[in-house]
Amino acid sequence: MVGFLQTTVLALISSGFVLALPNPISYPALKPDTLPGIAGATQLTYENEAVAGIDILEQWYGSNGLWNNEWWNSANIITMLADFQDFSPGQVSGYTSTVFPYTFNNAPSWGAFTGFINQYYDDELWWCLAWIKVFDVTGTQMYLDMASSIFEDAKNAWGQPSCGGLYWEKGNTAVNAIENSLYLTAAAKLANRKPSTPSGGYYFNEAIKAYTWFVNSGLINKQFLINDGLTAGCVNNGNTPWSYNQGAILGGLTELTWSTGDPTYTNLAVNIANATITLLTDSNGILTDACGTCQGDSGQFKGVFARNIQFMYNRADGLTDATKAQFKTFLQNNADALWLKDQTGNYLGPIWDGPYVTADVNSQSSALDLLVAAAGVSTASG
C-alpha cells in the first residue's frame, strides 16, 4: 500500500491541466419500485445502483488516471469496472473505452511507477490482476502483456524470504498473506491466458509453486480463514483475517481447477468462502471487517471478497446447488443491506450493515464491487 506522494506535488501536477475527462456515464433513473428491501430485487436493480455509484466515483477521477490519487485502490476500481463490463457491456463500455486506456497510459507517472512497479508486491499484483481482467473484457493484447511484465517483477523476488514466498514490501522482511494470495491468483490466471508463452507451463509452474507454499505455510488456520501474515519464525501470526485475505485467493484457486481438472483447488476455495460467510459476518449475515469505521484502505477490503464470490458463482467448476445458493443469497443480502443502510444519495459507506456515516473513494469502490457482484449473480426475476 502506498500513499506517500506529497499533496503539494499533486496539486501542482493537476493544476497544470485542463483535461477532458470521459463523460459521466448516463444511466436510467432509479426506479423506486425496483429498489431492494422489497422482495424480488432484480439484476437491473443492482445494475442501476452500480451505475449510480460509478457516477459518484467519477468526481474523484483525476487527470493522472487515478481516483483521488489512490494507487492500489485505483487498480481495484479498474477491476470492478471490467467485472461490470463482463456481463453488462451496454451499461459501462462507453465509459471504460476511455478510462481503461487513459489510466493505463497516465497512472504510472504519478509516482514514477514505470510499468506499474513500485516497492510493494501487493500493489503491483493488484495492477496485474486489473489488466488481466481488462484484457478479458476487451481482448486487447497490450493489457495482458502489461500484466505479464508486472508479474515478472514479483516472480524475480519469489523465494527471497527465509519463510519462502514473497515479501510484502521491498526492503522489509514481513511476509503477509495478501501478496502471496495475489501472486497465486495472478500466476493461475496468466497460465490460462498464456499457456505456452514465454514457454510451456511458465505461469502454471509458478501457480503450483505458490499454491504448494501457501497451503504449507500455516497461513490458512483450522477454521479455513487466512490470517494476515507469518511471524519472523515463519508461523501464522494470528493477526486479523481481513476479508480481502480470504477473497484474493479464490479466483486463483478457481482457475487452477480449470487448468488441471482437479477439484482440490475449488474445494479449498469453497471452504474459505464458507468460513468467511459464516465467521466474518454479523448477526444479519453482512460482511464485517474488524476495522471500526473502516476509513481509508481498510474500507477497500470487503469488495475483493464479494467480487471473487461472484466469480466463483459464475465460473467455478463443480459447485453444488447449495453452495451456489449460499453465494447468491450472501451477495444479494449484503447488497440490499448496503443500499438501505449504508447509502446516502448514491454515496456508499464502508459499514455495509449501516449506519451510513461517510464515503470515500475506497468505500465507494468496495461497495461497487458488491453491487456489481450482486448483479452478476441475479437475473431479470431476482
Ligand X SMILES: *[C@@H]1O[C@H](CO)[C@@H](O)[C@H](O)[C@H]1NC(C)=O
Interface ranges with ligand X (CB under 6 A): 223, 274-275, 278-279
Question: What is d(CA 233, CA 85) in angstroms, rounded to the nearest whole number?
Answer: 44
Cβ distance to ligand X smaller for residue 278 or 295: 278
Distances in Å between the Cα of 303 and the Cα atoms of 139, 153, 225 are: 25, 26, 17
Give the shortest CB-330-to-ligand X separation in angstroms. 12
Secondary-structure breakdown of the chain: helix, strand, coil percentages, each rounded to the nearest 5: 60, 5, 35
Question: What is d(CA 93, CA 85) in angstroms, rounded to the nearest whole number?
Answer: 6
Give the shortest CB-290-to-ligand X separation in angstroms. 17
Distances in Å between the Cα of 283 and the Cα atoms of 226, 306, 327 are: 21, 18, 17
Q: Which of 359, 328, 251, 297 is nearest to 46 (CA)?
A: 328
Give the shortest CB-350-to-ligand X separation in angstroms. 25
- Tell me the longest C-alpha to C-alpha distance in the chain: 58
Question: What is d(CA 117, CA 114) in angstroms, rounded to the nearest whole number?
Answer: 6
Cβ distance to ligand X smaller for residue 63 or 223: 223
Cβ distance to ligand X smaller for residue 146 or 277: 277
Cβ distance to ligand X smaller for residue 153 or 317: 317
Give the shortest CB-223-to-ligand X separation in angstroms. 6
Cβ distance to ligand X smaller for residue 231 or 274: 274
Q: What is the 3-state secondary structure (H, E, C) of 271-319?
A: HHHHHHHHHCECCCCCECCCCCCCCHHHHHHHHHHHHHHHHHHHHCCCC
Strand ranges (DSSP E) for the chain? 343-344, 347-348
Cβ distance to ligand X smaller for residue 104 or 327: 327
Q: Which triple of cell numbers denotes residue 62?
A: 483525476
Give the shortest CB-221-to-ligand X separation in angstroms. 11
Give the shortest CB-271-to-ligand X separation in angstroms. 6
Cβ distance to ligand X smaller for residue 42 or 323: 323
> How many other C-beta atoms lie within 10 A of the C-beta of residue 268?
20
Give the shortest CB-340-to-ligand X separation in angstroms. 26
